[in-house]
Amino acid sequence: MTDLIAVLGTGKGTWAHVSALIRAENWENIHIITNDFGKDKFNNEKNAKLIILDENLSVEEMKEKIAGELKDKLKLDVAINLISGSGKEHMALLSALMSLGVGMRFVIEKDGMKEL
């Protein structure tokens, strides 16, 4: 099984996509990168692990927070979804995963999970 890492920003309409992707597979672990709004409002029905980012952090600080939270918790490769969130969060996540030496597969929800 694979871990899913998804960014959950405040973009309108993207939460439904992330929720459907979470439900589409039997993920080993689910990590959601979000902010305080997402922590308070997202229906975390599969008990995903939340990584809460302060939007005022720099990209470098976000990267360090993400890497610190994920270190020693991931396998060799992970499925990631960037449909939601900002470029700042996306860059921080990609940089953190590369620094951890993790392989990445990009996935979307389209009649189930689809790898790009």
| pLDDT tens-digit readout, 10-22 | 877 899 999 999 9
pTM comes to 0.93
Report how far residue 13's alpha carbon sits from residue 74's, in angstroms, rounded to the nearest whole number: 28
**Looking at the chain, which runs of residues are DSSP E strands?**
3-7, 30-34, 49-52, 77-81, 103-109, 113-115
pLDDT at site 1: 78
The predicted-structure confidence for 12-71, as pLDDT tens digits, reads as follows 789 999 999 999 999 999 999 999 999 999 988 898 999 999 999 999 999 999 999 999
